[in-house]
Amino acid sequence: MLRLKDLVLGRDGAAFDTKTGRTYRLNPSGQMTLRLLQEGKEAADVVRELAAHYAQHAAVVAVGTEAFLGQLGRYLP
Amino acid sequence: MSALSGRKPWSRWTVAVTGINARPENPGPGCAVARCLSEASDFGGRIVGLGYETLDAGLYHPEDTDSGHLLPYPAAGTDALMERLDEILHEERIDAIIPSLDAELPNFIALQPALARRGVRMLLPGRPELRSRDKDRLPALCARARVATPRVRRISDPRFFERCTAEEEGGWRYPLVVKGVFYDAHVVHDAAEAAYRFGQIARTWGYPVLVQAHVAGEEVNLTALGDGTGALIGPVMMRKQALTDKGKAWAGVAIEDGDLLAAGEALMQALRWNGPLELEMLRDGAGTLHLIEINPRFPAWIYLSHGVGRNLPAALLALMHGVAGRDLPLAAPRPGVTFIRHARELIVRMEDIVAVSMNGSTLQRGTR
């Protein structure tokens, strides 16, 4: 279970982890992904919304989203 | 009638603070405690620095202290301390003392009744509570609080390090941490290095020397107040971001760590601590928090508490005055607020140094 609630996303794209005190810089698609996850969206919904927003093929978005979720898992144990 | 029954508001008290040395690599907490008080919006009293050496910066700091006096070293004992405090009290009234060094706590605890009769307040743990957070007693305390802690052992013979890896000696594994009872800790990787550090600590701080299993991980700290009921009052949590050569933080960030808070609450409940304390914990790779030390005082980074709206030294005075912990005006946690410690020079006039050297007290200064 990711500690998504511990990440505070700033307007500058920096995500601050209130538990560890670490700050991560997210690119725009990462910011959107984090916002959607914090709203409670499932990964499939995130992929669908990102694909629509960036006019990108869903399969391509799915690969990037999966990688991003993997990073979140490593950084938010 | 007790001399403590006066209702002079704590915001007008004269408060004495110890531990006011300010060596950049390992400063005492006293200057930061004094700074918290001098910058507390609701404090307008006087601040007195109590030092041990002529070059303790807090004796002379015009922004944080109004006067300064030298004390005898803790090893001189309670009689010498009481005698010196009586001399100081003859010069100026003191309403409260905030002891800020580990080694002086036993003396101040012993003198608490005598000082109370002189109208001087302190909020301190009892001797049993102080002893139960000794480094060699942490495993027993942590078992009660259900908090992890590395095993520890007192040693007085450095040959222990040659045989400690044998099963019959406990099957210790390097690296280990060699520590003094009050101060100093070194990670050692083999018997020769361990014996060297053992000798160094024994010569500097005396016996016994402690050996503790090493936990690899990230250090997080919590400071708070206790009122003897088991409540954890005003916790402020911090992760060290940069260290001095002695492992002290010179930069840190406020965090909000639910696991650390839970450990703090459990330990406070087990200890029923009175006064300020600091928990030093390490989070291992699996995410488990291990208690490394409990310091019986404010930490040197206590100014961060003012930075996050939880000025704990000011809150301590309010507690001393009888304000309930739940009524203290403490802000919600503000994770992300960062401190960066820096050293700068304090210019001191020759006559001020001479006054402290000759008389043990600073010349009278104007108020801050």
Q: Tell whether A10 is within 8 A of chain B (Cβ).
A: no
Chain B environment of A16 (Cβ under 8 Å): 335-336
Residue B98: helix, strand or coil by DSSP? strand
What residue of A is the nearest CA neighbor of B336?
A21
The alpha carbon of residue A77 is apart from the nearest alpha carbon of chain B, in Å, by: 7
DSSP B203-246: HHH-S-EEEEE---SEEEEEEEEEESSS--EEEEEEEEEEE-TT
The shortest CB-CB distance from B239 to any of A8, A20, A77 is to: A20
The alpha carbon of residue A15 is apart from the nearest alpha carbon of chain B, in Å, by: 11
The alpha carbon of residue A16 is apart from the nearest alpha carbon of chain B, in Å, by: 7
| φ/ψ of residue B238, rounded to 5 | -150, 140
Residue to mutate among A1, A7, A19, with most B CBs inside 10 A, is A19
Low-confidence ranges of chain B (pLDDT < 50): 1-3, 5
> How many beta-carbon pairs under 8 angstroms link A with B?
28
Chain B environment of A76 (Cβ under 8 Å): none
pTM of the model: 0.89
What residue of A is the nearest CA neighbor of B254?
A21
The alpha carbon of residue B284 is apart from the nearest alpha carbon of chain A, in Å, by: 11
What residue of B is the nearest CA neighbor of A77?
B287
Measured distance CA(B210)–CA(B180) in Å, rounded? 6
* 8 Å CB contact of B255 and A16: no
**Count of alpha carbons within 13 angstroms of residue B143, beta-carbon side:** 5
Amino acid identity of B239? Answer: R
Per the DSSP assignment, residues forming a β-bridge with A39 are none
Whether the bond into B175 is cis, omega within 30 of 0: yes
Per the DSSP assignment, residues forming a β-bridge with B223 are B236, B278
Chain A environment of B257 (Cβ under 8 Å): 18-20
Q: Tell whether B239 is within 8 A of chain A (Cβ).
A: yes
Say what the pLDDT of residue B3 is: 47
Residue to mutate among B236, B240, B255, with most A CBs inside 10 A, is B255
* 8 Å CB contact of B255 and A8: no
Q: Which residues contact B357 (CB under 8 A, 6 or more apart)?
A: B54
**Nearest alpha carbon to residue B292 among B144, B174, B142, B175:** B142
**Nearest alpha carbon to residue B188 among B209, B164, B163, B214:** B214
**Count of alpha carbons within 13 angstroms of residue B232, beta-carbon side:** 21
**Tens-digit pLDDT profile for residues B192-247:** 999 999 999 999 888 889 999 999 999 999 999 999 999 999 999 999 998 888 77
Neighbours of B51 (CB within 10 A): 27
Taking only residues 15 to 54 of chain A, the set having a beta carbon closer than 8 angstroms to any beta carbon of chain B reads 16, 18-21
Q: Tell whether B241 is within 8 A of chain A (Cβ).
A: yes
The shortest CB-CB distance from A18 to any of B238, B252, B255 is to: B255
Say what the pLDDT of residue A1 is: 67
- What ipTM was estimated for this complex? 0.73
What residue of A is the nearest CA neighbor of B219?
A20
Say what the pLDDT of residue B7 is: 74
**Tens-digit pLDDT profile for residues A10-69:** 988 999 999 999 999 999 999 999 999 999 999 999 999 999 999 999 999 999 999 999
Chain B environment of A19 (Cβ under 8 Å): 255-258
The alpha carbon of residue B242 is apart from the nearest alpha carbon of chain A, in Å, by: 13
**Nearest alpha carbon to residue B159 among B202, B205, B194:** B194
Residue to mutate among B222, B257, B260, B338, with most A CBs inside 10 A, is B257
The alpha carbon of residue B264 is apart from the nearest alpha carbon of chain A, in Å, by: 15
